[in-house]
Structure 1
Amino acid sequence: MRALLIVNPNATSTTPAGRDLLAHALESRVELAVAHTGHRGHAAELAQQAAADGMGLIVVHGGDGTVNEVINGFLPKPVLGPANSLSAGWMPRIAVVPGGSANVFARSLGTSSDPVVATNQLIDLLSSDTTRRIGLGYADDRWYTFTAGMGLDARVCEAIDSSRNDGHAVTPARYVRTTVQEFFKSKGSHPTLTVELEGAEPVSGVHYAFVSNSSPWTYLNTLPVHTNPGTSFDTGLGVFAMRSTSMVSTLRLARQLLTPGAEPKLDKLFRVDDVPCARFTSSVPIGLQMDGDYLGLREEVVFHSVPQALEVVAPKPDPKG
């Protein structure tokens, strides 16, 4: 099988030694070509060409942003309707060896966050031809793998992007500090979002919301954060919309999110799993992020779940959850 290894050399945890180890290991299993990204959007260009050339596998060594670029580079637009689907046709498989700061997508698939361990995992999976098909989220003419957000989360991603451009390292501690800063900046502001689900009354007065394609929503080092525990790559989307910014409600919610096995529940929280489609509107332009990438301001976004959209080289899901 022919394969392309796409490496983001600027990703947080990639190293020359790790990249060489991964390439040498893959060469024992596939006919390998290696490409390093050089600019924003380059991973998408490389993936598009790999698919056009008929390569059977694309291995991504980078963070969630690089993975998102690759998928959007070669995966066609879905057919949206009563049953969202992807047009029939051949597509390469995807494998991920983490190289970023969070690596939420890879870790949610059961891939180790350690690049060396993940490399060994991948070789074993290729040897046994172990794959699975997963659903993806689609919104704003883009695919996303694990989460999207409007409001607070998008502002945090925008601030993190800005600090990264200024040369600051992206760490869990920086995410926490930035989230706290952005929360207090917006505290007391008028809620602008309305959430609409088919067959249900609109939910208005929302300050910020997440639309997840898997769980966990993110990680704090090794600690998974679950906004929608019932959401997975095999279900529809999980909607999590907060209608309060009070300190009491926020602290209670934070405790629930950080408690293993907890189901987030608050009077001011609207949360539902396995949603095929969700429409968000805002009375003023509000920030949108997808897979941690800030996309700008929007007044309306429709989120779709597209089942069985992507074949990944990854461990089979644990039937016990």
Structure 2
Amino acid sequence: MTACLIYNPAARGEKAAALRRKIERLSDVTLMPTERPGHATELAAKAADNGAELVIAVGGDGTLYEVINGLMRAERRPRLGLIPAGTANVFALEHNIPWDFEAALQTALHGTPKTIDLIRANFQNGTRYAAQLAGVGFDAMTLGFVSWELKKKYGKLAYWIAAVKALFHAQPSLTCSFNGCRRECGLALIGNGRFYGGRLVCFPDASPEDGMMDLTLFPRVGLITAARVCGRILTGRSLCLSRADYFQTNQITIESPGVDFQLEGEWVGVSPVTFSVIKHALTFNAPGPQSHRRK
């Protein structure tokens, strides 16, 4: 089996350095180090075009987002593997992928094949894909204020700081079209799995295999409340969803122009944007009876 492993050799911190040493000792996979933001997308597409049977992403939700978008460029898509790292990996949590390096590596190489849907976002600047989640409105605006330096210095507090910064910008108003109706809201969260922002269950009935997206729509509220809600969402803290409306659909269009949206916690662009489901888009190696079998 031809396997390629995509990782960031410039990731900072002691944990990242230890992970890099483990990766660079591997001999049974082709190592593809990234050199710049967005490079993982190019490398994944190249690996697929060169006939790789398996592409393993090492990193957090952002790295996985880039790799998936590279694989979706290819006509023949290799199987996906994941070794979780970084500050967050909602996909790993959703699919019970181990955080231990050796266990995750064996799962990526020998796990049980599982086919999943993806979220597709069509907007003015092109098309992007996500495995887990999307957000439109205040959460995406807030993410634009979160830098690596801020996260390194303050940890999860960085998201609260960013939410306060976002208070000085007008809260967006969204017009959403789905299931033959139109609704107004202040924040739209779209899930292909149960979790958002860590262990926060924002989409309790969501499944990455049912051909549907789950929507949680929050009404427009005061700026202080919006910052509080957004901070709790982005840090994975418990949240009262009683004021939110919950739906399922296979397509939703955000008609309002100029509103920020994000995929997998990465700021992507502005609306108008249409999100739709791509059924059975990718196959990845999930934990299962054979996940720890060695060659």
2:174 aligned partner: 193
SS at 2:65 equivalent: helix
- Residue 198 of structure 1 deviates from its aligned partner by 2.2
- Residue 8 of structure 1 deviates from its aligned partner by 1.2
**Equivalent in 267, 273, 284 of residue 301 of structure 1:** 273
- Residue 64 of structure 1 deviates from its aligned partner by 1.4
1:276 aligned partner: 250
Q: Where does structure 1 lack aligned partners over 5 or more consecutive residues?
A: 78-88, 317-321
2:82/2:108 contact within 8 Å kept: no
- Residue 191 of structure 1 deviates from its aligned partner by 4.9
* Counterpart-to-counterpart distance in 2, 1:314 and 1:217: 20
SS at 1:203 equivalent: strand
Please tell me whether residue 145 in structure 1 is matched to residue 131 in structure 2: yes
**Equivalent in 218, 221, 243 of residue 219 of structure 2:** 243
- Residue 296 of structure 1 deviates from its aligned partner by 2.8
Please tell me whether residue 135 in structure 1 is matched to residue 117 in structure 2: yes
SS at 2:168 equivalent: helix
Please tell me whether residue 45 in structure 1 is matched to residue 42 in structure 2: yes
**Equivalent in 188, 205, 221 of residue 209 of structure 1:** 188
* Counterpart-to-counterpart distance in 1, 2:119 and 2:154: 25
* Counterpart-to-counterpart distance in 2, 1:255 and 1:297: 23
**Equivalent in 194, 200, 205 of residue 225 of structure 1:** 200
Task: Please show how residues 58-207 of structure 1 align to structure 2 within 5 Å.
Answer: 58-76=55-73, 90-112=76-98, 114=99, 117-124=100-107, 126-127=109-110, 129-140=111-122, 141-160=127-146, 163-164=147-148, 169=153, 171-182=155-166, 184-186=167-169, 189=170, 191-199=172-180, 201-204=181-184, 206-207=185-186
CA RMSD of aligned residues (A): 3.0
* Counterpart-to-counterpart distance in 1, 2:266 and 2:76: 28
* Counterpart-to-counterpart distance in 2, 1:65 and 1:155: 17
2:159/2:231 contact within 8 Å kept: no
Distance 1:34 1:190, change over 3 A: closer
Identity fraction in percent: 27
Per-residue deviation, residues 198-227 of structure 1 (Å, max 9, x unmatched): 23x3112x11211111120111xxxx1122
* Counterpart-to-counterpart distance in 2, 1:53 and 1:59: 15
Per-residue deviation, residues 276-304 of structure 1 (Å, max 9, x unmatched): 1111111x411111111112332x11100
* Counterpart-to-counterpart distance in 1, 2:67 and 2:273: 22
Distance 1:250 1:229, change over 3 A: farther
- Residue 258 of structure 1 deviates from its aligned partner by 4.1
Distance 1:60 1:251, change over 3 A: closer
Please tell me whether residue 5 in structure 1 is matched to residue 5 in structure 2: yes
- Residue 12 of structure 1 deviates from its aligned partner by 5.8
SS at 1:202 equivalent: strand
Aligned partner letter, 1:100: G
1:292 aligned partner: 265
* Counterpart-to-counterpart distance in 1, 2:56 and 2:12: 17
TM value normalised by structure 1: 0.77
2:121/2:128 contact within 8 Å kept: yes
2:56/2:108 contact within 8 Å kept: no
1:83 aligned partner: none
1:164/1:170 contact within 8 Å kept: no
2:188/2:217 contact within 8 Å kept: yes
* Counterpart-to-counterpart distance in 2, 1:233 and 1:255: 24
2:194/2:203 contact within 8 Å kept: yes
Aligned partner letter, 1:97: I
1:86 aligned partner: none
Aligned partner letter, 1:20: R
* Counterpart-to-counterpart distance in 1, 2:149 and 2:132: 24
- Residue 130 of structure 1 deviates from its aligned partner by 1.4
* Counterpart-to-counterpart distance in 1, 2:226 and 2:5: 45
SS at 1:38 equivalent: coil
1:149/1:210 contact within 8 Å kept: yes
SS at 2:62 equivalent: helix
* Counterpart-to-counterpart distance in 2, 1:105 and 1:170: 24
SS at 2:97 equivalent: coil
Aligned partner letter, 1:210: L
1:253/1:264 contact within 8 Å kept: no
SS at 2:18 equivalent: helix
Paired residues, what number? 280
